[in-house]
Amino acid sequence: MGQVLERIEGFAEEIRVAGGEGEKLMRLAEGSVLRLRDAGAIRMLQPKGYGGLEVHPREFAETTMAIGAMDGATGWVTGIVGVHPWELAFFDTKAQDEVWGQDPDTWMASPYAPMGVARPVDGGYLLSGRWSFSTGTDHCQWVMIGAAVGDEQGKRLMPPRTLHVLLPRSDYEIDQQSWDVVGLRGTGSKDLIVKDAFVPAYRTIDAAKVFDGTAPKEAGRGETLYNFPFSCIFPLGITSSLIGIAEGALACHIAAQKSRVAITGVAIKDDPYVLFAIGEAAAEIAASRAAILETVDRFWDMVEKGQEVSFEMRAIGRRTQTAAAWRVVRAVDEIFARSGGGALQMKTPLQRFWRDAHAGLSHAIHVPGSIFHSSALIQLGGEPQGIHRSMI
């Protein structure tokens, strides 16, 4: 067991209970935030030079799964906010000093989608726009967001070029009314509004260089962790939290079924059909967990040996990750449908896991179309182009 997980396990029940509070607040309860900070959950991928832990991505994934099984929203925040320190390691050291110099537990929100435009000015850019789905943003002091580079009039350049930029909390507004959703309510994934904020050049990085692995090399990062493929580590936190949510749902279901008697008068443990469904769902969840961890271990070993993780391997890795997400949500549906009417009660955590699972599956990183297309095409000797190379 990793050191972060060992710390957080001591507060598992507290985090479970706080999940209900977070659902009402539409952000994490302060107690859960405190436990994540104390345990170092968001510092797992952070450079040691800035108080980070630099753990193996497998440990990051397993910890995120465990937290997601306690409470879906807390796991989701861990998996998403926890990846940002990995990328900040590639930024100019001046930017890293600004974020972590005074407090290594400073958190950064996102998203990466280039929903705003960065207009070039002397020394940097002026940034404006509105970004949706900024997970955990109420608890973050900085944001790392995607921005399309524009011309002097603010018109997006063609072909497009995307930057990832850093902004302090004073440079953006959180729309507190923008998050009222059916699942993952406690993540507080609200909209951000930026109006002509000046971003110095040293607080920007070319997104394409992050995606293709150039950024860590230019930053002088020789560690295996920071040369790990972006297309594996970024989805890893998201899908790991979703697998954890499924594991939490399964645990709730099994606990409730041990003493349950169906309306027919037959005890659930004596119903062979329900037992088959539970066993099949458990197997699917376990297989999904094993599949993404195997990919992480294999890629890590390759990077550590100085070997290239090819586009084909990355595409298959994304296929594995995406398929794992869909499998675990289907498994959650199978057990929820056999949980009886009591599972519909809002006071039960199972219904929240069920809603959180479906909300998590809707993330863009879990859309299978182009990923399945690319992985199959390249294995057949083709060469994916355009959107079919995106996020691979």
Q: Please indicate, yes or no, if residue 220 is contained in any of the structural domains.
A: no
Q: Please indicate, yes or no, if residue 144 is contained in any of the structural domains.
A: yes
Q: Which of 19, 62, 23 is nearest to 244 (CA)?
A: 62
- Give residue 199's pLDDT: 98
Whose tokens are 């705003």? That residue is 116
Sign of CA dihedral 210, 359, 171, 78: negative
Are residue 299 and residue 163 in the same domain, yes or no? Answer: no
Are residue 284 and residue 314 in the same domain, yes or no? Answer: yes
Are residue 77 and residue 122 in the same domain, yes or no? Answer: no
Q: Which of 100, 125, 159 is the last residue of a domain?
A: 100
Residue 205 · residue 163 · CB < 8 Å: yes
Q: Please indicate, yes or no, if residue 16 is contained in any of the structural domains.
A: yes
Are residue 57 and residue 136 in the same domain, yes or no? Answer: no
Token pair recorded at residue 386: 């355009």
Q: Please indicate, yes or no, if residue 248 is contained in any of the structural domains.
A: yes
Distance in angstroms (rounded) separating the CA atoms of residues 123 and 132: 27
Are residue 270 and residue 372 in the same domain, yes or no? Answer: yes
Residue range of the domain that includes 277: 228-389
For residues 257 and 366, the model is more confident at 366
CB atoms under 10 Å from CB of 160, counted, come to 10
CATH number at residue 67: 1.10.540.10
Burial label for 10, CB within 10 Å (0-12, 13-18, 19+), is exposed
CB atoms under 10 Å from CB of 82, counted, come to 27
Mean of the per-residue pLDDT values for the chain?
A: 96
Are residue 119 and residue 96 in the same domain, yes or no? Answer: no
How many domains would you assign to the chain? Answer: 3
92: left (phi over 0), alpha (psi -120 to 50) or beta: beta
Are residue 195 and residue 242 in the same domain, yes or no? Answer: no
Residue 345 gets which letter from DSSP? S
Q: Please indicate, yes or no, if residue 221 is contained in any of the structural domains.
A: no
Does residue 392 sit in helix, strand or coil?
Answer: coil
Q: What is the tens place of the pLDDT at every residue in 332-355?
A: 999 999 998 888 898 899 999 999
Does residue 4 sit in helix, strand or coil?
Answer: helix
Share of the chain above pLDDT 90, in %: 89
Are residue 255 and residue 293 in the same domain, yes or no? Answer: yes
- Give residue 253's pLDDT: 94
Region 218-223: mean pLDDT is: 97
Q: What percentage of the chain's residues is helix, strand, coil (to nearest 5)?
A: 55, 15, 30
Are residue 93 and residue 155 in the same domain, yes or no? Answer: no
Question: Is residue 385 pLDDT above 80, yes or no?
Answer: yes
Are residue 201 and residue 266 in the same domain, yes or no? Answer: no
Token pair recorded at residue 129: 């726009």
Are residue 200 and residue 237 in the same domain, yes or no? Answer: no
Q: Which of 46, 66, 100 is the last residue of a domain?
A: 100
Q: Please indicate, yes or no, if residue 312 is contained in any of the structural domains.
A: yes
CATH number at residue 297: 1.20.140.10
Q: Please indicate, yes or no, if residue 212 is contained in any of the structural domains.
A: no
Question: How open is the CA angle 297-328-260, to the nearest 5 degrees?
Answer: 130
Q: What is the tens place of the pLDDT at every residue in 129-185?
A: 999 999 999 999 999 999 999 998 888 989 999 999 999 999 999 999 999 999 999
Q: What is the tens place of the pLDDT at every residue in 281-338?
A: 999 999 999 999 999 999 999 999 999 999 999 999 999 999 999 999 999 999 999 9
Q: Please indicate, yes or no, if residue 365 is contained in any of the structural domains.
A: yes
Q: Which of 81, 100, 119 is the last residue of a domain?
A: 100
Distance in angstroms (rounded) separating the CA atoms of residues 371 and 386: 12
Does residue 337 sit in helix, strand or coil?
Answer: coil
Share of the chain above pLDDT 70, in %: 100
Say what angle helices 369-379 and 311-336 make with each other, to 10 degrees. Answer: 140
**Residues contacting residue 263 through CB under 8 Å, at least 6 positions apart:** none
pTM score over 0.95: yes
Whose tokens are 């100085």? That residue is 306
Residue 111's φ and ψ, nearest 5 degrees, are -110, 175
Distance in angstroms (rounded) separating the CA atoms of residues 157 and 176: 31
Q: Which of 200, 211, 33, 199 is nearest to 112 (CA)?
A: 211
Residue 240 · residue 328 · CB < 8 Å: no
Q: What is the tens place of the pLDDT at every residue in 98-145?
A: 999 999 999 999 999 999 999 999 999 999 999 999 999 999 999 999
**Distance of alpha carbon 228 from the chain centroid:** 16
Residue 15 · residue 64 · CB < 8 Å: no
CATH number at residue 128: 2.40.110.10
Q: What is the tens place of the pLDDT at every residue in 199-214?
A: 999 999 999 999 999 9
Q: What is the tens place of the pLDDT at every residue in 33-78?
A: 999 999 999 999 999 999 999 999 999 999 999 999 999 999 999 9
Are residue 357 and residue 244 in the same domain, yes or no? Answer: yes
Residue 95 · residue 38 · CB < 8 Å: no
